[in-house]
Amino acid sequence: MNAYDEYMKGIVQPMRQELVEAGFTELKTADEVNEFMATTKGVALVVINSVCGCAAGLARPAVREAIKEVKPDHLVTVFAGQDREATEAMRGFFEEIPPSSPSIAILRDGQLEYFIPRDQIEGYPVEQITDHLAGVLKQACGQ
Protein backbone atom coordinates (compact mmCIF):
# COMPACT_ATOMS: atom_id res chain seq x y z
CA MET A 1 0.00 0.00 0.00
CA ASN A 2 1.42 3.40 -0.91
CA ALA A 3 1.61 6.42 1.43
CA TYR A 4 -1.51 8.03 -0.09
CA ASP A 5 -3.62 4.89 0.35
CA GLU A 6 -2.38 4.51 3.92
CA TYR A 7 -3.21 8.16 4.67
CA MET A 8 -6.72 7.87 3.21
CA LYS A 9 -7.36 4.63 5.09
CA GLY A 10 -6.69 6.47 8.35
CA ILE A 11 -8.78 9.48 7.35
CA VAL A 12 -11.88 7.47 6.41
CA GLN A 13 -11.83 5.06 9.36
CA PRO A 14 -14.06 7.28 11.56
CA MET A 15 -16.44 7.70 8.58
CA ARG A 16 -16.70 3.92 8.28
CA GLN A 17 -17.11 3.43 12.04
CA GLU A 18 -20.03 5.84 12.18
CA LEU A 19 -22.17 3.35 10.24
CA VAL A 20 -20.60 0.18 11.67
CA GLU A 21 -21.39 1.40 15.19
CA ALA A 22 -24.98 1.98 14.05
CA GLY A 23 -25.24 -1.71 13.04
CA PHE A 24 -24.14 -1.67 9.41
CA THR A 25 -21.99 -4.37 7.86
CA GLU A 26 -19.30 -3.12 5.52
CA LEU A 27 -19.01 -4.89 2.19
CA LYS A 28 -15.44 -4.26 1.06
CA THR A 29 -15.05 -6.56 -1.95
CA ALA A 30 -17.08 -7.44 -5.02
CA ASP A 31 -17.33 -11.02 -3.72
CA GLU A 32 -18.89 -9.80 -0.46
CA VAL A 33 -21.40 -7.69 -2.39
CA ASN A 34 -22.28 -10.54 -4.76
CA GLU A 35 -22.68 -13.00 -1.89
CA PHE A 36 -24.90 -10.56 0.02
CA MET A 37 -27.07 -9.87 -3.03
CA ALA A 38 -27.38 -13.55 -3.93
CA THR A 39 -28.44 -14.73 -0.48
CA THR A 40 -30.26 -11.87 1.21
CA LYS A 41 -34.01 -12.00 1.69
CA GLY A 42 -36.16 -9.21 3.05
CA VAL A 43 -35.57 -5.48 3.13
CA ALA A 44 -32.01 -4.17 2.99
CA LEU A 45 -30.82 -0.62 3.48
CA VAL A 46 -27.64 0.05 1.49
CA VAL A 47 -25.64 3.21 2.11
CA ILE A 48 -23.07 4.20 -0.49
CA ASN A 49 -20.79 6.09 1.87
CA SER A 50 -18.45 8.90 0.89
CA VAL A 51 -15.83 11.26 2.34
CA CYS A 52 -17.70 14.40 1.31
CA GLY A 53 -19.33 16.88 3.65
CA CYS A 54 -22.87 15.93 2.68
CA ALA A 55 -22.15 12.34 3.71
CA ALA A 56 -20.72 13.47 7.05
CA GLY A 57 -23.24 16.17 7.90
CA LEU A 58 -26.37 14.82 6.24
CA ALA A 59 -26.45 11.25 4.93
CA ARG A 60 -24.85 9.35 7.82
CA PRO A 61 -26.69 11.29 10.57
CA ALA A 62 -30.02 10.92 8.72
CA VAL A 63 -29.52 7.19 8.24
CA ARG A 64 -28.59 6.66 11.89
CA GLU A 65 -31.73 8.52 13.03
CA ALA A 66 -34.09 6.88 10.50
CA ILE A 67 -33.14 3.34 11.56
CA LYS A 68 -34.03 4.22 15.15
CA GLU A 69 -37.62 4.56 13.89
CA VAL A 70 -37.66 1.65 11.46
CA LYS A 71 -34.98 -1.01 11.21
CA PRO A 72 -34.96 -3.08 8.03
CA ASP A 73 -33.81 -6.71 7.96
CA HIS A 74 -30.30 -5.83 6.74
CA LEU A 75 -27.99 -2.82 7.01
CA VAL A 76 -24.98 -2.75 4.68
CA THR A 77 -22.61 -0.15 3.32
CA VAL A 78 -19.99 0.23 0.61
CA PHE A 79 -17.52 3.10 0.54
CA ALA A 80 -17.23 4.99 -2.76
CA GLY A 81 -13.70 6.02 -3.64
CA GLN A 82 -12.25 3.60 -1.09
CA ASP A 83 -13.65 0.14 -1.81
CA ARG A 84 -14.01 0.70 -5.52
CA GLU A 85 -14.57 -2.94 -6.44
CA ALA A 86 -17.36 -3.34 -3.89
CA THR A 87 -18.99 -0.03 -4.84
CA GLU A 88 -18.89 -0.89 -8.53
CA ALA A 89 -20.39 -4.33 -7.84
CA MET A 90 -23.21 -2.84 -5.75
CA ARG A 91 -23.97 -0.19 -8.35
CA GLY A 92 -24.15 -2.99 -10.91
CA PHE A 93 -27.33 -4.21 -9.22
CA PHE A 94 -29.07 -0.93 -10.08
CA GLU A 95 -27.38 0.06 -13.32
CA GLU A 96 -30.31 2.24 -14.41
CA ILE A 97 -29.39 4.70 -11.62
CA PRO A 98 -26.44 7.01 -12.36
CA PRO A 99 -23.57 6.63 -9.86
CA SER A 100 -24.06 8.93 -6.90
CA SER A 101 -22.38 9.22 -3.53
CA PRO A 102 -23.44 9.45 -0.94
CA SER A 103 -26.66 7.68 -1.77
CA ILE A 104 -29.11 5.31 -0.16
CA ALA A 105 -30.80 2.28 -1.70
CA ILE A 106 -33.66 0.24 -0.32
CA LEU A 107 -33.72 -3.30 -1.69
CA ARG A 108 -36.21 -6.11 -1.28
CA ASP A 109 -34.90 -9.62 -1.93
CA GLY A 110 -31.97 -8.09 -3.81
CA GLN A 111 -34.15 -5.91 -6.06
CA LEU A 112 -34.04 -2.12 -5.95
CA GLU A 113 -37.24 -0.67 -4.48
CA TYR A 114 -36.21 2.91 -3.83
CA PHE A 115 -33.16 5.11 -4.30
CA ILE A 116 -32.15 8.41 -2.73
CA PRO A 117 -29.36 9.98 -4.81
CA ARG A 118 -26.93 12.65 -3.67
CA ASP A 119 -29.07 15.41 -5.19
CA GLN A 120 -31.84 14.50 -2.72
CA ILE A 121 -29.36 14.68 0.17
CA GLU A 122 -27.05 17.61 -0.50
CA GLY A 123 -28.61 20.94 0.44
CA TYR A 124 -31.52 19.49 2.42
CA PRO A 125 -31.92 19.70 6.20
CA VAL A 126 -30.89 16.49 7.96
CA GLU A 127 -34.38 16.25 9.52
CA GLN A 128 -36.00 16.25 6.07
CA ILE A 129 -33.68 13.48 4.85
CA THR A 130 -34.36 11.49 8.03
CA ASP A 131 -38.13 11.85 7.59
CA HIS A 132 -37.90 10.94 3.90
CA LEU A 133 -35.88 7.81 4.59
CA ALA A 134 -37.96 6.77 7.62
CA GLY A 135 -41.13 7.11 5.54
CA VAL A 136 -39.72 4.96 2.75
CA LEU A 137 -38.50 2.36 5.26
CA LYS A 138 -41.88 2.24 7.00
CA GLN A 139 -43.55 1.54 3.68
CA ALA A 140 -40.90 -1.02 2.60
CA CYS A 141 -41.05 -2.79 5.98
CA GLY A 142 -44.86 -2.75 6.09
CA GLN A 143 -45.18 -0.45 9.11
Catalytic residues: 52, 54
Partners of 97 in the β-ladder: none
Instruction: Identify the CA nearest to 103 among candidates 42, 141, 62, 43.
Output: 62
Residues 112 and 90: their CA atoms lie apart, in Å, by: 11
Residues 83 and 27: their CA atoms lie apart, in Å, by: 8
Instruction: Identify the CA nearest to 80 among candidates 72, 70, 90, 71.
Output: 90
